[in-house]
Structure 1
Amino acid sequence: MRQYKKAQIMKQTRLLLGTAFWLLVAIIQASGQESIAVKIDAIVEAPVKAGRVAGASVAVVKGNETIVTKGYGFADLELDVPTPPQATYEIGSITKQFTAAAILLLAEQGKLSLADEMTKFLPDYPMQGNHVTIRQLLNHTSGIKGYTELPEFRDFQMLKRPREELVKLFSGRPFDFKPGEEQIYNNSAFFLLGLIIEKVSGKPYAEFIQEQLFDRVGMKDSYYCSERAIHKNHAHGYDSNQNVLVLKGYVDHTWLYAAGSLCSSTPDLVAWNKALHSGKLLKPESYREMTSPALLNDGTMVRYGMGISLADTNGRHTISHAGAINGFLSESDYYPNDDLVIVVLLNTRGPVSPKELAREIADAVLGKAPDRSRPFVGDLTQFTGDFTGKGRGRPATVHIGVSGDQITFTNTEIPRAPLETLKYFGNDTFGFKDTIVIFQRENGKISKLHLDTGYGHNILLRQPTNEK
């Protein structure tokens, strides 16, 4: 009897110790998550308190654990309205991944093929002897002139006109390059994809996106933006003028359309990322198409898929996209190796970058990423000089210099562009932040460089040293 009681006591003791152990583990984990949440609050609150951004919404979800989902600052500065948890924002070019997913769904239904030429659905488009596939529209390699970079669009966007008049505005312009030769970020291509979705599905773009994507994923706070309609919890947008916040400039959502006219919230964008990257939305082959790097005609791999960027963030594999529109900036990042979603939405278009905030948040959650750069051994002056080629809406020119034992990068086409220090990654490849610079040789000498930003891949030729 005594032995039985002793065994029972031992069993109960082990049970209590085990329970205490797992309770302690849970407390430690909760404390760790709370500590991370405090760090995230500090990251986001800093620019809000400094008056550099009106308000923000941030969601950070790792696996099944929600670390942060909250609003900061103000949704309306004039009335001092705090940012509500479900605040909606104009998400700009994050729209593009929804457009891409819609095209892939139509391909799954057998209604189109990514290899189809766009003229199969838009037969009146003047191709100027070129052949552009739907795939090339999706990955920005079509060469079609971008309408948002045309000077005429500044006045045109204020007008109420039929959509075909915008197509006329850019369709008659010379192509920037032969399809597949380079990659330049292109809103015209996604405008045309919206027209193709409507023609193939027989439904307006907004209706198709609502039924086939928003409703399926459960995105109850997402919709096609409007400059007139009233939506509950919609944050007011602000621009920055000489470091002072002002009411945002006018946007007519007729024109941004399938390239940038969707509105959403951070919880909805988390749900979107979870559905997209877990196979709940697209078939495996469609998802691979969407998230695989595009190839140029010469086999060069670019760091963009279909409506999404594949550029690493601080050396970590990331599937992401940014958005910029009058009054709003946005960033949606998914880290597949860590099952981490970070969404940052700002109701201010100004000096604060949601990508930089998301980068800091990733470091807070995952720790500092390992530095994969290495010292360069050799003569750095072999890389120096001016390199010029095609850019988005204007020529791209970069200057490569030397500072101490490192080379520097300056985009001379951008006013007040910062001087960036390049890290070396081997095989004549350098980089800074998310940008990669790959030098190419002819007869052993540097003759050109490939500038890959994750949203474009430009080939710039080295200029003779006697030219400025």
Structure 2
Amino acid sequence: MEKTKNFLDENHDVEPDAGQVALFPEISHTLAQIDELVAARFALDSAGGLTVGIVAKQGLLWAKSYGYANQEQSRQASSQTVYRIGSITKMFTALFLTQLVEKGVVRLSDPVEMYLPEMKEIQGAKDNRFSPVTFGQLATHTAGLDREPALLPQFFTGAVAEWEQTLLMALPHTKFVYEPGTCCFYSNIGYAILGVALSRACKQPYVEYVQHHILSPLGMRHTAFHLTSEIMPYLAKGYFLKQGTIDTETAEKEHQGRGYKVPNGALYTSMNDLSRFAQFLLGGQPGLLLSPHTIQEHFEHPAIQMNSALSEGYGRGFQVFRRGDMVAVGHGGAVLGYEASLFANRRSEVAVMILSNVFGRTWSMKDLCLHILSRMSDFPPHKEEVLPM
């Protein structure tokens, strides 16, 4: 299957500001307004830096960075800068699941304990009134699991290489808060359980699978679950704003490992790299990771858990927000020292991403990301045959 050309295919380490924009001169005024808006928002607490990117099916359309990747060294942020993206990692874990479903390795309705009998060690798992937790329930946060295990330090520290053992140790300290399948309750440990169950199902370690079957095919060379020699020179220093002070030590410690939090929040990436994933989400690389039919089913016909106002919800590894006529799918993420947002409007075939090396800003990154996405809702070309969510 022929891959849609990305401006970065031959220019992986360049700033794309003038790249694809030349193809759509009619949006230059909108981009200038977005630039002005982001600059004003950044000025409210201009610590650290951030990078904003807009992606179309053709690739990274526009990117602009503000502030510093490292304030002390006066190193400017850029689209090459590597940030942590926290829970956006869940989108990659959900893609892992969807790939295995497409290949017939697992089904969404399969009980997870088929591959992870240790599930029975979770508090409440032996209640005969409960149905077994399924892959689909873990992916949609409807498994009934608590958000985290008991707050014991050993579960939240430790190298990526040891994450699976840490997770298994945490299971007896994890509990059900709802009966499986009856409520949507966001669970970080649920996504870690999903990651290890998938790795057992396909007989390949989680990190290795994602690297070989998702990151490498997309050309995401500066994306990893731990710091590598390739991405270290581009790493942004993390800043944690709290009560008028700037903490850098906490973010530095987090680089040593987050314990079990790998399939649910360990990825590092750059704007250039993440744009490739966003391009895939928009259907810009048909057949590369999933068939076009499976991509459409994944985003347009999933079981989405919505709130009573039908303004936000959760699908299979992605958040859903409705703002007027716009429906955005994607995810936010945060690690102490970093924050990120990625949301796409599949109807308009455009996505917006914001990556920051500051946690604790006085304004909402998610709201800014969704606002920019709404400003791009009339992005050309608007194809009538693209189905709404």
Q: What TM-score bracket applies, with the shorter chain setting the length?
A: 0.7 to 0.9
- Label 1:199 to 1:315 Cα distance change in 2 as closer, same or farther (>3 A): same
Query: Scaled by the length of structure 1, what TM-score is found?
Result: 0.65
| Aligned 1:146-295 pairs, distance under 5 A | 146-147=147-148, 150-153=150-153, 156-158=155-157, 163-226=164-227, 231-247=232-248, 249=250, 250-251=253-254, 252-278=257-283, 279-280=286-287, 281-291=289-299, 292-294=301-303
| Matching residue of 2:70 | 76
Query: Scaled by the length of structure 2, what TM-score is found?
Result: 0.78
Aligned counterparts of 1:85 and 1:285: Cα–Cα separation in 2: 32
- Label 1:89 to 1:338 Cα distance change in 2 as closer, same or farther (>3 A): same
Q: Which has the higher strand share?
A: 1
| Matching residue of 1:109 | 103
Q: What is the letter of the counterpart of residue 259 of structure 1?
A: N
Matched, 1:321 2:319: no
- Label 1:286 to 1:172 Cα distance change in 2 as closer, same or farther (>3 A): farther
Q: Residue 143 of structure 1: SS of its match in structure 2?
A: coil
> Which of residues 346, 352, 373 in structure 2 aligns to 1:342?
352
Q: What is the letter of the counterpart of residue 31 of structure 2?
A: A
> Which of residues 95, 109, 128 in structure 1 aligns to 2:126?
128
| Matching residue of 1:43 | 37
Q: What is the letter of the counterpart of residue 283 of structure 1?
A: S
Alignment RMSD, CA only? 2.9
Output one character per residue of 1:324-366: Cα deviation in whole Å (capped at 9) or x when no partner: 1111111111111111111111111112322122133234434
Greater displacement, 256-265 / 354-363: 354-363
Q: Is the 8 A contact 2:344 2:373 kept in 1?
A: no
Percent identity reads 25
Aligned counterparts of 2:247 and 2:291: Cα–Cα separation in 1: 45
| Aligned 1:421-460 pairs, distance under 5 A | none
Q: Is the 8 A contact 1:314 1:359 kept in 2?
A: no
Greater displacement, 358-367 / 186-195: 358-367
**Once the 2 structures are TM-superposed, how far is the Cα of residue 37 of structure 1 from its aligned partner?**
2.3
Q: Residue 275 of structure 1: SS of its match in structure 2?
A: helix
Q: Is the 8 A contact 1:248 1:326 kept in 2?
A: no
Q: Residue 191 of structure 1: SS of its match in structure 2?
A: helix
Q: Residue 246 of structure 2: SS of its match in structure 1?
A: strand
| Matching residue of 1:354 | 365
Where in structure 2 are there 5+ consecutive unaligned residues? 1-20, 379-389
**Once the 2 structures are TM-superposed, how far is the Cα of residue 66 of structure 1 from its aligned partner?**
5.2
Q: Residue 331 of structure 2: SS of its match in structure 1?
A: strand
Greater displacement, 287-296 / 320-329: 287-296
**Once the 2 structures are TM-superposed, how far is the Cα of residue 314 of structure 1 from its aligned partner?**
4.6
Q: Residue 317 of structure 1: SS of its match in structure 2?
A: strand
Greater displacement, 129-138 / 106-115: 106-115
Where in structure 1 are there 5+ consecutive unaligned residues? 1-25, 368-468
Aligned counterparts of 1:306 and 1:124: Cα–Cα separation in 2: 23
Aligned counterparts of 1:174 and 1:28: Cα–Cα separation in 2: 53
Q: Relative contact order, CA 8 A, sep 6+: which one is greater?
A: 2
- Label 1:163 to 1:228 Cα distance change in 2 as closer, same or farther (>3 A): farther
**Once the 2 structures are TM-superposed, how far is the Cα of residue 65 of structure 1 from its aligned partner?**
7.5
| Matching residue of 1:408 | none
